[in-house]
Structure 1
Amino acid sequence: MENNLASRLAHIAPFHVMELMKMAAALESQGRHLIHMGIGEPDFTAPQIVIDAAAKAMADGRLQYTSALGVPALREAISNHYAEKFGLNVPASRIIVTAGASAALLLACAALVEAGREVLMPDPCYPCNRHFVAAFEGKAKLVASGPEHRFQLSDQMVREHWTSDTAGVLLASPSNPTGTSIAVGELVKIIASVKERGGFTIVDEIYQGLSYDAPPFSALSLDDDVVIINSFSKYFNMTGWRLGWLVVPERIVPELEKLSQNLFICPSSIAQHAALACFSPEALTIYEKRKAEFKRRRDYIVPALRELGFGVPVMPDGAFYVYADCSRFTNDADAFAKQVLNDAGVVIVPGLDFGPATASSYVRLSYANSMENLQEAIVRLRKFLAQPA
């Protein structure tokens, strides 16, 4: 059987973060108390109004398959959300509800990525993005991007690295692992350059609701041909519910519907009916309070890490991550993260997963944890770093 495995598997690397989580779980099983700053998951769960909506859907027997495009009422609710929060007219007919942002990315890559074609993305970036491209036998072409470019692609990079084999770009704003967004002016130029070359632009906006330093913004305001990925996981605190959405040009909706019918049938009916409650005034008030709490944590953790000697060359403006330069302490971020786990009891993630450019010198820390735990993590890290080498 082993010899029958598809060759594409060779291009998909293990998710090292999850291996680190296994190590953490083993320590916790021995009674160790760990502070988790590893996994990118809100420490808040869905508000009660959303849970109640799920319970009502089950009690009412609304458990059947839905349309592959999603429950019409939810598509309309997302459309209204774009109108109310961003002032954008995004017809519900362009919105496809998916089984999480992962399914949205899978559908987008299935529809747009040809075998052997390249998709440009920054290094560092979320590892699964390049693996979705590889799953459809495309080639993720990582372009090293440092703090001077906010760890994002620039228009100049796109133009310099575009070849006859390039099909498009896959961006994330705000980004995992860096928490940085692409400047609007730069994004305008990138989209124009890609369009001029006949390519596609996919923008992952799953952290869009968690942007702290500028008014709410979506790339949909720049061009109707941009493919947008979004999710109920982060801002809406519904990670395990596995619900997301795509916004695509109207002309390709039937093609994506066909793919969704065959690959997924439909997203979870219960999660969809529950998600309708996310857009209620009660839920939105809760989400905005939680967003303010994430910003408060960011404003604590970044100066605290800098005071310890970590480099944070770019203030993260969104998501709940700090991408920190640890080269003052080590030239092996992977070994450093494991030592911090074992000796300090703090879970952080090495740059290894996010691309070779920053693999050895950066670590990602998530501040999706209570302020009390973040403060304790800084105490533990200070003690750890004070130990003689």
Structure 2
Amino acid sequence: MPLPPLAYRTDRIRPFQVMELIKRAHALAATGKPVLHLSIGEPDFTAPALVLDALERATRAGHTHYTGANGTEALRRAIAGDYARRYGVEVSPSRILVTAGASGALSLGCCALVNPGDRVLMTDPGYPCNRHFVAAYDGIPELVPVGPETRFQMTAELVRKHWRDGVKGALLASPANPTGTSLPFDELSGIVDEIRGRGGFTIVDEIYLGLTYDDAPRTALALGEDVIVVNSFSKYFHMTGWRLGWMVVPEALAPVFEKLSQNLYICPSALAQHAALACFTPEATEIFEARREEFRRRRDYIVPALRELGLEVPVEPDGAFYVYVDCSRFSDDSSAFADELLRNAWVSLVPGDDFGENQPKRYLRLSYATSMENLEEAVDRLRRYLGDRERA
């Protein structure tokens, strides 16, 4: 029986190769090999007990019905309060939409702002799904090559250089996946001014903002109400599988986003929303901050350890839990090298192919969202294997 033809946009969306690689690593582990997973962009921590307790209370209280499409009033007020306490920025709860993860928020943003054929600036390398959100709404991801000289981040100069007919805005990430680098706030301000002056939109993905290590984090919301910000409970709050995020939009556009959410998603998970209220208690904040310090400790171990092995780290990450590693000393094909390390050292890393077109064969992404014990064991395995490899 013939199948119906697929929409042409499906050809523009490539498989998420990280997930394919993780499947191979798990298949190898299933054969009994002690694979160390340094490929997964997910905290090894889970939601703390007080959040789980809040979930249980919400379940027993019957909070399982639809909520408003933009989330519960209580959670939106809690998020607004967190912006005031942590970043010193006043945000009206009416500008906040709770979403089905940051992915739901980015999808809504592209649905609302991207017309067919519109071009959207984003960095290359960058998180692959961001390209695909734009493509899913028939927009065109305009990839801007970035490298160590700009900390793998966009600059105002690059916006000026790459803005052309058809460009409508930019989708940025700070701190970013796969590089773990942040936009200096002055540079972000300049970027916003450049885009604003051209009548474009700026969306900033701040999903890793809470996991910033070297300087006090600052939200792009401080740059004006026209900047759209996306965040999530997945990374700093360690609730990946709960699929809960949010976005902050201009007041005048909030009804439009709410309308789209009503039709596309109905509402975010009611139970996850009720449980997430516990994330903003002083007790929870103490836990999350202690875990942030643990991520910093892991970064401070793994970066010099990789450099000692000859795996160059051209830019030290200041956020998230990733290191973008230059493996060119050992291979001119990071995909083949990642497969070699998986098969021979049982260490799973992600090749750069997933993250764009700018020198992907040169780089690997390492995630240090795992225990120090695992990181130390991974370094030992890599040291032994790379040493044997060079002597062979």
| 1:127-150 CA distance string (max 9 Å, x none) | 000000000000001111000001
Equivalent residue, structure 1, for 2:134: 133
Structure 2 distance, partners of 1:55, 1:169, is 40
2:236 aligned with 1:243: no
| 1:140-193 CA distance string (max 9 Å, x none) | 011110000010111111111101100100000000000000111111110000
Equivalent residue, structure 2, for 1:192: 193
Task: Tell me by how many angstroms 1:216 deviates.
Answer: 2.2
Equivalent residue, structure 1, for 2:99: 98
User: Normalising by the residue count of structure 2, what TM-score does the alignment of the two structures yield?
Assistant: 0.98
Q: Residue 387 of structure 1 aligns to a residue in which SS?
A: helix
Task: Tell me by how many angstroms 1:358 deviates.
Answer: 2.7
Alignment size in residue pairs: 389
Structure 1 distance, partners of 2:16, 2:306, is 26
Structure 1 distance, partners of 2:116, 2:385, is 48
Q: Give unpaired runs (5+ residues) of structure 2.
A: none
Structure 1 distance, partners of 2:17, 2:100, is 24
Equivalent residue, structure 1, for 2:112: 111
Q: Residue 356 of structure 1 aligns to a residue in which SS?
A: coil
Task: Tell me by how many angstroms 1:332 deviates.
Answer: 0.3
Equivalent residue, structure 1, for 2:47: 46
Q: Give unpaired runs (5+ residues) of structure 1.
A: none
The residue type equivalent to 1:71 in the other structure is T
Equivalent residue, structure 1, for 2:290: 289
Equivalent residue, structure 2, for 1:183: 184
The residue type equivalent to 1:65 in the other structure is Y
Matches within 5 A, 1:183-262: 183-262=184-263
Structure 1 distance, partners of 2:331, 2:104, is 37
Equivalent residue, structure 2, for 1:142: 143
Structure 1 distance, partners of 2:68, 2:339, is 45
Task: Tell me by how many angstroms 1:333 deviates.
Answer: 0.2
Structure 2 distance, partners of 1:99, 1:312, is 34
| 1:92-124 CA distance string (max 9 Å, x none) | 000000000000000000000110010000100
Structure 2 distance, partners of 1:217, 1:161, is 26
Equivalent residue, structure 2, for 1:25: 26
| 1:207-241 CA distance string (max 9 Å, x none) | 00000001121001112101100000000000000
Equivalent residue, structure 1, for 2:324: 323
Equivalent residue, structure 2, for 1:89: 90
| 1:20-74 CA distance string (max 9 Å, x none) | 1111111111111111100100000000000000010000111000000001000
User: Normalising by the residue count of structure 1, what TM-score does the alignment of the two structures yield?
Assistant: 0.99
Equivalent residue, structure 2, for 1:8: 9
Equivalent residue, structure 1, for 2:274: 273
Structure 2 distance, partners of 1:318, 1:30, is 35
Matches within 5 A, 1:337-348: 337-348=338-349
Task: Tell me by how many angstroms 1:3 deviates.
Answer: 5.5
Quick check: 131-140 or 212-221, which moved more? 212-221
Equivalent residue, structure 1, for 2:367: 366
Equivalent residue, structure 1, for 2:312: 311
Structure 1 distance, partners of 2:48, 2:343, is 34
Equivalent residue, structure 2, for 1:352: 353
Q: Residue 278 of structure 2 aligns to a residue in which SS?
A: helix
The residue type equivalent to 1:21 in the other structure is I
